[in-house]
Every structure is written in C-alpha cells, then in structure tokens.
Structure 1
Amino acid sequence: MSRLKNISIWLIWLSIFPTSMTYLYFAIEPNFTGYWVDIIAFAIIMCAVAYFPIQVGSITIFFINGVSFAVFLYFGLFAEIVLTQLALISLLIKIKLKKSEFYRIATNSTMLFLTSIFAAVVYYALGGTHGVLSLNTLDQIIPLVGYIVGSIVVNQVLLALIDIYVKGNKFTGIPSSLLVDSLVTAMIFPIGLILYILYLEIGLSAIFIVGFPAILLSVVISTYHKGQQINKYLHDTSNIGHELSKKLNVKDVLDTFVEKVHALIPMSYIYVYDITNSSRSMNMIRYVSDDETQHLQDISLEYGEGFAGQIYKEEIPKMLVKRSQLGKIENSEIPEEVNSAIGVPIMRKNLVVGVLVIASKRKYAYEKYHLMLLEILGNFLSVAIENARHYQSEKNKSQCDRLTGLYNYRYFTEHLESYAFDLQEKELDEELSIILFDLDSFKELNDTYGHEAGNEVLIELARRIEAFVGEQGLVARYGGEEFTVLIKGYKHHEAVDWAELLRAKIAQEPFKVTNHMLDHQDPIKIYVTASIGVATYPDHCETPDELIRQADRSMYVGAKRNGKNRVASAEEAI
C-alpha cells in the first residue's frame, strides 16, 4: 500500500475514534460503580474468545459479537465499544501483524467502532433501552432485531469500502459473504441473549457459565477447522506426488513441483538447490517469486553457507518465523523483506542431494504442519527426480550412441519411418533430404594414431555436426565412422549446397587429439575429410523410407569412387 494511503487511513481513524469516544463519554456519562468486576469479567471473556478466531475461507467468525451484545443490552454503547476494541487488540496480538500491515489496526478499529455506532442508532431509533429488559413484548424485541440487522448491513458496507479503498478492488455488487455473515450472526447473537438473560438472573456467575463454553467452543472449532485444513493439505500433497510420478524428465518434474507447491503453501519465494557432494557445493536450479518482475541471478552456496547451506550441513529441517532469526545467519541468501522461512533437506539413500526452501514476507507465516508438508513434498521430489533420471538414462541407452551422444541408427530409422507414415496419413507432400557421410581413410587414422585418437575425432566431429545443423535437422551416428543428417523442407540443390558447407567445415578445421600413440605426449592436429551422399524425397524415391539406401548409394558411387572428400547427389548415381 502507498505511504499516502496509509497516512490517510490513520488520519481517518484519528478524526473519528478519539473525538467520538470523548464525546460519547461526556454525553452518556457512563457509571459502572459496583459493576467493575463484572465489566472486567466480560472483557476477559471477550479477549479470550477473540484470541481463538475461526477462519472459514475469507470469513472470520468471532463469538465476541454475542458477548458484546449482552454488554450493550445491559451496560450501554460506551461499555460495548471499549470492550470490543480491547477484544480487537487481543486478536491483533494473536495474528502478529508485521510493520507493513499496521494500517489494519486503524481499519479494523474504525470498522468495529462505526458498526457499534450505527447498530446502536438503529436500536435507539426503534425505542431500545438498556438495563433490565423483560424481552417479552414486541416493543422490546423489534429493537433487538434492528440492532442485529443494522450490525450486519453496516459491517458489510464498511468491508466493501475497505476492499475498494485499501485493496483497490472494484465494486461488483452485494458480496456473497453477506449470506454467510448473516447465518453466523444468527448463530452468535442468541448466545448473547442467553448470556444477558442469565446475567439478569444470577449475575457474575453467568459470565463464566456462558463465557467459558464460548471460549472452549472457539478453541474446539478452530482446532477442528485447522485439522480439516491439514487433511486437505495432505490430500493435495498426495496429489502432487501422483502428478510428479507421471513426469519423465527432470525439467518437467521441477516445473510441476514449484508450480504446485507455490499454489499449496503460502509463500513469497521458493528455492530448489541441487548438491554436488563431491565438492560440497550447492547450485540453485529453480526459483519462483510472487514478484514476476524480479529476476534473480543464479545462487551458488558452499557447505554450511547461508540458510540453505546450514540445512545441508545439519541435515535437519528448519523453520524461522521472525526476521531477527534470519538476520543471525551469515551470508544469507534470503532477501531482506522475508520474515519467515522453511527449509528441508532432500534426501536420497541417506545422503543430502538437495535443499528445498520456501520463504514469506509475513512474520509467523508458517506452523509445524507446514514443515511436515514440505518434508513430505521433498521426499516426493527426490523420488520423482530419481525416476525421471533413470527413465532418461534408459531412454538414452536405447536411443543414443554411447560414444558421441548422438541418436543411434535404430532411433534414426524409427523416426524416419514414423514421420513418413505421418505424412502418408495426412496426405501431405514434404521434401525430405538425407545427408549421409563417411570419414575417408579412417582405418589408416586408427592404425597410425590409435583407436583412442579415432574416438576423439568421432566425438569432436559429432559436436561440430550438431553445432552446424542446430534445430534445422536430426543428426545420428549411422555406424562406425558414418553419420547421417535428416533435413526437412529443402529443395534437392539446397540440400546439396548445405552438405557442401558441412564437408568444407570438416576438411578445413583440424581435429585436436591428445590420446595418440606417437612418441611424444603433446597434442597433435589431424586433418580429416569426408565423402558425402545426398538424396531427396520425392525426387529420388517413391517413399521416404527408401532415402537412406539412395543416399548410401550416392555416397559410395558418386563420392568414394570419384576421389573422396566430395559431395555426390543421388542424381549422379542413377
């Protein structure tokens, strides 16, 4: 909220509350002689009930409305306002406002004050009085109903005004919370009537007879609701685990994890660190912030450094709920505006392999069950990453060449067949070209420099081809010293020109080799050439799956037999 709006809220409170309370005191001249113990007892009950609010969605249920109603009926408006304000202080102590939320003191105090005033005005306008009431005539019942209805309506109007002015939301009509608030009030105010009637009959004892059950009811319902909330959290946590188990690569696992956890647990930041235990270093691999405009550079931490580093070192979960606790951490990676943070180690086979941290700008934002949930989620994340890496490893073994990391012949042919079938099913015509090349005199290279040197050349060659092709095609190791490239959407002469550029890149730049069989140990440079064949569908075959045979034939007939180190088109081999 802007500083100007914050100041204006406090000025509104100052202009309304102190002056109005002073006026009411001198106008009403309240006299509680002989009733101070009763007033204090009512105040204690109201503060105790306010300390255990029941939060249902965005609706906060206070049993203080019932108790304050009894106070209003017997002692009048001034006593009801004072005790309600004291109960508000008790509530604000419980929720632990941070400095940036102090404006809520003024807004809530003003709202409760004006609600009391307007409800009382309706009550007096309908002929209501205070003290000992029989409540058995229509003249005395109508003001009670007016007070209750006036309290609900004014409260909702003030909530709407606060929502518009403070939060900047647009007015969209009568809020849906009005019905809920009405039902809650219908439940609470009868408690106030019962308390009032018993107070008339037995005095001070009635406050405790009704008040203590009200406190216990608040505690029980609040605890029950929190238990229900935890059960929902656990259910959602289980769903996240199931969702993660479906992901088959690490990136999808991490993206899904941070998205789901960010929606599940209140937070301002989430960090996921990966740990390299051999060097005891930590690298941040995922980061999400509520402020989408904020970009955080990669964070690297050492063993024991910062909040996450301490969790890595101690191998135990941590929860800090005050800025003073976070401020004691040396070299902390947590932003200054953060007031609460939870961190848990991600374990695998009794070894810390990562750290998960969530942080909030609010003080006391987290409770023990949040820590429990994050531990469960950390275990889910560990298992999901391990499964994704295992799947990817097995997939690479079946699809990729172990030496070069390129796709293997099996994957290449399956991909070509699948793509060709897709074209046929969709009745599409698309030009496909295969560039097949074989390194010249590679056996002599192995005999002269050794197979380790030959492997170095193959690995470097694979890197060059991938860099050259980029996203324009699919590269695979065909077998031995043969490689193949599939490109789409090129005319045949364009594919030949493209292959010529690739041939020149191979021939002109030497390969640096360190593992050779020569007498000296210094690295050497080896020049290598390649013979290349190019075939295009539908120019040289009727179906795409014939492309490899046509490209292979053009390479041997058109390139190898004609001097090597050249590009041959399938048209030359016909």
Structure 2
Amino acid sequence: MTVTAKTKRNIFLVWLLLVPAGLWFTYQTYPPNFSGQWLDIAAFLILTFVVAFMPMVINNTPIFLIQWVSLATFLTFGIFVEMVFAQAAVIVLLLRLRLQKDQLFRIPLNLIMFFLVSLVSGVVYYALGGQTTPTIVNNLHSLSLAAVYAVVNYFLNQVIISFYLYYIYKSKGSYFGKDFIVETVTTFITLPLGFVLYMFYNQQGLLALLIVAIPFASLSMIFKLYYASENINIYLQKAAEIGHQMAEKLEVDGVIDLFIQKLSEMLPVDYAYIFDVANEEDLKLVRRIQGGDTELPLNIPIIKKNQGISGHVWSKGKAQLYSTGMQWKRYSIGYIPGDAESILAVPIQRNKKIIGVVMLASKRKRAYEKFQLVIVDILCSYFAVAMENAKHYELTKKQSERCALTKLYNYRYFKKLLTEEFDKIFHFEQKVLSLIILDIDHFKAVNDTYGHQSGNEILCELAARLTNIVGSRGTVARYGGEEFVVLLPEVDKEETYQLAEMIRQSIANWPFTLMQSLELTQQQIKITASIGIATAPEDAEDALALVRHADRALYVGAKRAGRNKVAEYIK
C-alpha cells in the first residue's frame, strides 16, 4: 500500500491546522481540574507509556490496547489530560515500531485520528450529562455514561481506521478480517480494567496502578508469546509447502527462481543474492534480485573465502543477521547497494558441506527477526536437495539427448523435435520448416588412412563449425555415423540453400587439423561434404517425408552428381 507524496504533505498540513488548535480549544472549553495532583498525573502518564510500548503484533499489524488506560485517565482527569496522554501514547508506539523515513507520515495521521476520537467521544459523554471523577460504584447512570464513552471511543476509532484504509492507503481488502475480530475481542476484554483501575485509584490511590498494571503486563506477554508461536507455525507450514514445490522442479534455473520468489514473498526482500561454491577458495554469484527483477549477474567479481559478508558466512558456516547498515558495512566489498539496511545471510549445506550462500537485504532497519533466520535455514536445506535432484535430472536428460562424442543433439532428440516443429505447421503456428542433411564424402577412406581417432576429431570439429554457422537460426544434430542434420524453423528454401552452401564451403575451403593421426604428427587434411535440403510444406506433408526427401536430394542430387555439392529436393 503506497501513499503518494502529495497525500503525505496533506496529512502533515491537516495535522498542523487541526490538532494544535483543537487542543487549545479543548483546554479552553473543558479546562482540567486536578488541584496539584502532579504525581498522580505522572504515574498515569508512565502507565500510558508502558502500555503503548507493549503492543501486540498480529499479522504484522500492531494492536494498540490503550483504551482501558484512556478510560481511567478520562474519568479521573477529564478530556484534555486524556487527549494529551493519547497523543503522547501514539508517538511512543510509533517510535517503538521504528518507522522508516517514508512512513513518518503515520505519526501525524494517527495523531489526527486519536485527537478526533478523544474529542468526539468526550463531547458525547459531557453532552449526555457525564462529569469528571464520577461515582460509578452503585451508580448505574454514571456507569452507563462511562460505558457509552468507551463504546463511542472504540467504534469511532474503527470508523476512522476504515476511512484511512480505503481513501489513503487505497486498500481493496476486507477490513473485517481476523485482525479486526482479535482487536475487538481484546479491547472489550481489557476495557473492564479501565473501570477497575478508576475505582481502585479512588480507593487506594497510586497503589491501584501497580495492582492493575501487573496483570495487564502479564496478559500482554501471554498474548505476545501466543501469537509469536502461531506466527512461527505459519512460517514453518509455508517453508514445508515451498520445499515440496521446489522438489517438483526438474531444472536448476526453475529451482533457483522459485526459491528467490518464495523468499521475497515470505520476507521483506529488496535485494537477494545466491552464491555457489566454485572451488575451495571462491564463491560465484549465480543469481540476484535488484529492484524486484531476477537477473543473471554479469561482471561480478569472484568472492574469496573470508571476504565480504557471504565469504565470512561460508568460512564460519554460521548464519548472520544484521539489523542496520552500521553493523555490516565494514564487511561489505561493495556489491550490496548503499540504501540496504537489514541483512540476513545463511549458508546452504548438503551432507554437512557448504555448497553456497543465500543473502537477503532490506532497505528497512530491523526488517528480520531471529526466528526468520531459522526458517531461511530450513528452506536452504530444501533448496540444496532440490538443486541436487535438478542437476542429476539435467545431466541424465543431457546424456539421453546428446551425442557423447560431438555434444550435439542425437537422433532421438532430433526425431522428437522434428515432430514438434511439424505439428506447428499443422496448427498454423509457423509457415515453413526446412531441413539440411549433410554427409561427409569418402569418410571411410579418412578412417582407413588416418585412424578412427582422427575420424572422431573431424566429426567434433565439424560439429563445432556447424554450430557456429547455424547459431540461433536452427538446431544441429548428429543423425548417425558421418551424417549431420540442421532443422530450420521459419527458414524458406532459398535461405536454406544459401546457408547449406555456406556450410559446404566452410568444409571444403578450410582444412581440418588432426592431432592424433596414425603418423603421430599433427596434420591438416581437406574433406568435402554432400548436402541435401527440403522444405515443408512445399516438399513434404509429414515429418518422415521431409527427412526422406532431403535424404533423396543428398544422394541423388549431390552424391551421384559428383559430391561436394548442395542439392535441393525436386518433385
């Protein structure tokens, strides 16, 4: 929820025009009368500060249980003192939450709300005949008026919060959710404390504040511990779900992208870095997030062991949590942006061996809690397993799809790809599909003369030449023996012929170097190749026909015509 700069300026302006003048008006209209009870006022103010300093945070929303103290303060000292205390309590609470610079507008925003709530609920109370320091014991009328004040105070507070959410924060979510229910229940549970405090104070003096404050502090701690444990359980459930999702990914890039994405959704992440242990001394940055975009890092220097934050985490094998930039900037080597504040860095371990480091950074101070470090550590364990599985899968897939000698795609992969590309023609997803089949001329003679190892060298060098010439225009595969194929989606016959002629010339005009010939000396030999081409749907109506017709062009149009030629299929 983003608030515009113009709206923030308007909020400060409204506060400046409304609250100081409103306080002065309240002082003049309802002057306080406490007859030198400065010690009592100071005690109530301290209690207000203590309650404001101990909010319950549920779903990242602070629940401010100050109403019961405000009720006792209002009944004891009147509307002006209660209003001033409420303003002070807001400032203490927001300072306790450590607002960032861009969130400072929340101070005047909340001061306006509490001023209006105090003013309206107090005016309603006095208008109905309520008095300061009423006798509410055995006086149903006074007790009812105090209850009306408390109810008006609470519901007006909710109305203004709802207004803020819809018109200032532009929130489209439902307001009456879990947070609202919890706050309503806890508020009405603690409101009787306000009546008890007021009655005890009238009977026991300042001792009453101590008697009531201790149970409240205990209750607040119980609530805080309960919701903290519930929050941890939610994080653990999310971590388990993310672990299962990563285990389903079969590619390394997919695992990395999902890992970073889920971390960014769980935690406040402005920058994220994943490092891989390249060798015994070097960390290599393999992925990062900056500005919300995942990118492959370029021109990032290798990080040495014990160098920078990630290097220290690697060497020590322990996670690190920094709450402010002052704590970590002496370790940084410059790749973390200067506006980062909080940092969480965790080693990625597999079988008790560190294989990488993940580092998260936020522009907010104290953005991460200690239990979140444990959650990230658990996720790193899932990540390490998922990465290992994905690497095994990719290796197995590569071995099943690639020629072990030339590293080109094999016949099995080519056949599958040809079928997929031909289906695109039938579904009108592409217009043409061309095929080049290449066969080395007199390759048996090369093997007989120079040896099979030299023949393998020629096949490897030819594979490299084909890959460089074709580039991204198509797919090169080894068809079998000394035959190669090039599949060219969206390349017409004329352009295919030109590409095939370029391939033919690159073979015939540049000799091949043999490093391990039978002569035991480095040699250069010249070879030639015959090439056949065909294009669908012009020359073939199905995938097998395209291969058959390109093969016919190779043997009838090129081989029989003298070899070292490019021939196209002719019906």
Same fold (TM over 0.5): yes
Q: Deviations over 1:284-304 (max 9, x none)?
A: 222223456999855334213
Deviation at 1:24, TM superposition (A): 5.1
1:392-418: CA deviation from partner (whole Å, max 9, x where unpaired): 101111111122221112222344457
SS at match of 1:379: helix
What pairs up with 1:495-534 in 2 under 5 angstroms? 495-496=496-497, 498-511=499-512, 526-534=525-533
Moved more, 496-505 or 334-343: 496-505
What letter corresponds to residue 285 of structure 1 in structure 2?
Answer: V
Paired residue type of 1:66: W
- How far is the alpha carbon of 1:483 from its aligned partner? 0.7
Residues 272 and 356 in structure 1, CA contact (< 8 A), matched pair in contact too: yes
Q: Distance in 1 between matches of 2:468 and 2:274?
A: 31
TM-score (norm 1): 0.85
- CA–CA distance in 1 between the matches of 2:279 and 2:122? 69
Distance in 2 separating the partners of 1:174 and 1:57: 14
Corresponding residue of 1:466: 467
> Alignment partner for residue 318 of structure 1, among 320, 329, 333?
320
**Which amino acid counterpart does residue 461 of structure 1 have in structure 2?**
L
Q: 1:350 to 1:48 in 2, by over 3 A?
A: same
Write the letter of the residue equivalent to 1:399: E
SS at match of 1:382: helix
Q: Structure 1: how far apart are the matches of 2:235 and 2:452?
A: 59
Please report how far the alpha carbon of residue 225 of structure 1 lies from its aligned counterpart in structure 2 after TM superposition: 0.9
Paired residue type of 2:459: L
Question: In the superposition, relative to structure 1, how do residues 11 and 465 fare at CA in structure 2: closer, same or farther (>3 Å)?
Answer: same
Decide whether aligned partners of structure 1 residues 293 and 22 sit closer, same or farther in structure 2, where only a CA change above 3 A counts.
Answer: farther
Partner SS state of residue 355, structure 2: strand
The aligned residue for residue 48 of structure 2 is: 46
How many Å separate the matches in 2 of 1:480 and 1:179? Answer: 73
Letter in 2 for 1:95: L
CA distance in structure 1 between the partners assigned to 2:324 and 2:445 by the alignment: 71
- C-alpha RMSD of the superposition: 3.8
How far does the alpha carbon of each residue in 1:30-84 deviate from its partner, in whole angstroms, 9 at most, with x for none? 4545755544443343333322212334653222211221121122223323433
Matches within 5 A, 1:163-312: 169-170=169-170, 176=176, 180=181, 185-278=187-280, 280-290=281-291, 298-303=299-304, 304-312=306-314
Offset at 1:531? 1.0
Q: Distance in 2 between the 1:234 and 1:379 partners?
A: 13
Number of paired residues? 566
Structure 2 vs 1, CA of residues 117 and 321 (structure 1 numbering), >3 Å: closer, same or farther? same
TM superposition score normalised by structure 2: 0.85
Gaps of at least 5 residues in structure 2 are: none
Aligned amino acid, residue 73 of structure 1? L
Matching of residue 355 in structure 1 with residue 366 in structure 2: no
Report the alpha carbon displacement of residue 241 of structure 1 after superposing the two structures with TM: 0.6
88, 91, 94: which one aligns with 2:93: 91
Question: 1:174 & 1:136 partners in 2: Cα distance?
Answer: 42
- Report the alpha carbon displacement of residue 349 of structure 1 after superposing the two structures with TM: 3.6
Residue aligning to 1:437: 438
Q: Distance in 2 between matches of 1:31 and 1:429?
A: 87
Counterpart residue number, 2:558: 559
C-alpha separation in 2, matches of 1:335 and 1:421 = 48
C-alpha distance 110-416 of structure 1, shift in aligned 2 (>3 A): closer
Confirm or deny: 8 A CA contact 1:307 1:333 kept in the other structure: no
Which residue is 1:113 aligned to? 115
The residue correspondences of 1:360-399 to structure 2 (distance < 5 A) are 360-399=362-401
**1: CA distance between counterparts of 2:308 and 2:5?**
33
CA spacing shift, 1:449–1:432, aligned 2, 3 Å: same
Amino acid at match of 1:255: D
User: 1:568 aligns to what SS in structure 2?
Assistant: strand
Query: What residue in structure 1 maps to residue 129 of structure 2?
Result: 127
Moved more, 310-319 or 137-146: 137-146
SS in 1 for 2:560: helix
Rounded Cα–Cα distance in structure 2 between residues aligned with 1:527 and 1:496: 23
**Alpha-carbon spacing, 1:446–1:35, altered in 2? closer, same or farther (3 Å):** farther
Q: Is the 8 A contact 2:272 2:360 kept in 1?
A: yes
Shift of 1:232: 0.7
CA–CA separation in structure 1 for the residues paired with 2:296 and 2:473 = 31
The amino acid that maps onto 2:64 is F
**Where does the alignment leave 5 or more consecutive residues of structure 1 unmatched?**
none
